[in-house]
Structure 1
């Protein structure tokens, strides 16, 4: 009965609100910083196997360095990690093993077909501590303080709404939780043409955006396997 009465009060208050409140313009939607960059992943006809062949090959730095990357995350049994932009699920199995039966892996992607593949992969490999999640374009869709580690590998430059996405990550991490960002070095005159056209900004810009979102920079981890990528570690304030 109290709930019903509260609902009535809410409706009455809304109806009796000053006329000028109804005329106030709604806040404008945030603008994409790189319109169209994710169109291919949102395509309902996405061919997952084509991306497996592109992502999971030794010629790709991330694939070549995958064991060292997992080692440098320093995951502990019981940790809860979000693999943000999990793609084909390259890190799902090693993460699941690293956090153990008491830990958890949230494999998040905006591409439903990638999420579907990760679900099948987890089932085939009997990874009972993995939850595939279809993320939003500006929200990772995890509960507050539900993770200890957030991992973003070659994906931050795909954030169309970095401020909103970082806010959702900040909310999902526990205080003092770890955020790791791996991305492409974008250096005019040195980086490949593909990187210069595809990646919107360099390491310093991305780092500043992340710090402005409430994260504290800890260190840059140097990996011998990296020629084009960098590894930055932050903590949630």
Structure 2
């Protein structure tokens, strides 16, 4: 395969991610069973059509894209923060965070898909965004060092955690003391939610909230955004060690 600008960007961003997470290990019990086997297979496929997903993710008819400015405000992003966008996908929130934290802040785009990271790396370079590191996450860990970020953002991705207990343990470790975890996911209400949501999302808000709280987080806020109808936003804070 010929060496292209994009392939060089991918190599550089993956390498940066490996350097950034040196020493980071998968957290959580190795015996944890998958809660939804195969849910991420399509994103790990080497033939993944990224352009197709960009068109699906970055369109005003998608609620979390249309509401992105409201979400940014609700998340409480400030200049100088270090943020991890977990399940970054096409990277549109990564780019928003990059501009919001400014030159003194940093953003980690974490995803299990090398193809998405290649796209993000290329887009960042073209847009002149230089405060972003792409990190290849694992199925049980976000692969960030302990106490490395102020805020972790998970948008429509928590239900893709195949090993939530282990992944949450790595999230808890990566957050600094009193760090913030923002989770956006789909309202899953039998008889109300779309069939796609009922079939695709394994559980509702109450179950996900309980899982997160059991992992060492306390619910800090559940702001109601008028721009979110099918999704909810929850803000948690990392509990201080007792």
Structure 2 distance, partners of 1:173, 1:28, is 21
1:108 to 107, 110, 114: 110
Structure 1 distance, partners of 2:229, 2:95, is 25
2:180 to 170, 178, 181: 178
Residues 130, 201 of structure 1: alpha-carbon distance in 2 compared, 3 angstrom cutoff:
same
Q: TM-score, normalised by structure 2?
A: 0.86
1:209 to 208, 211, 220: 211
Q: CA RMSD in A?
A: 1.0
**Equivalent residue pairs, number:** 211
Q: For residue 42 of structure 1, what is the aligned residue in structure 2?
A: 44
**Structure 1, unaligned runs of 5 or more:** 1-26
In the alignment, is residue 134 of structure 1 matched against residue 129 of structure 2?
no
Stretches of 4+ moved more than 4 A in 1?
none
1:59 to 52, 56, 61: 61
1:193 to 183, 195, 198: 195
Residues 28, 175 of structure 1: alpha-carbon distance in 2 compared, 3 angstrom cutoff:
closer
Q: Deviations over 1:94-147 (max 9, x none)?
A: 101111111100000001000111111111111110001110011000010000
In the alignment, is residue 153 of structure 1 matched against residue 149 of structure 2?
no
**Structure 2, unaligned runs of 5 or more:** 1-28
Query: Per the alignment, in what secondary structure is the counterpart of residue 227 of structure 1?
Result: coil
Displacement of 1:175 in angstroms is 1.1
Q: Deviations over 1:43-90 (max 9, x none)?
A: 111000000111111110011001111111121111000000000001
Displacement of 1:30 in angstroms is 2.0
Structure 1 distance, partners of 2:232, 2:55, is 23
Q: Which has the higher contact order (CA 8 A, sep 6+)?
A: 2
Q: TM-score, normalised by structure 1?
A: 0.87
Q: For residue 71 of structure 1, what is the aligned residue in structure 2?
A: 73
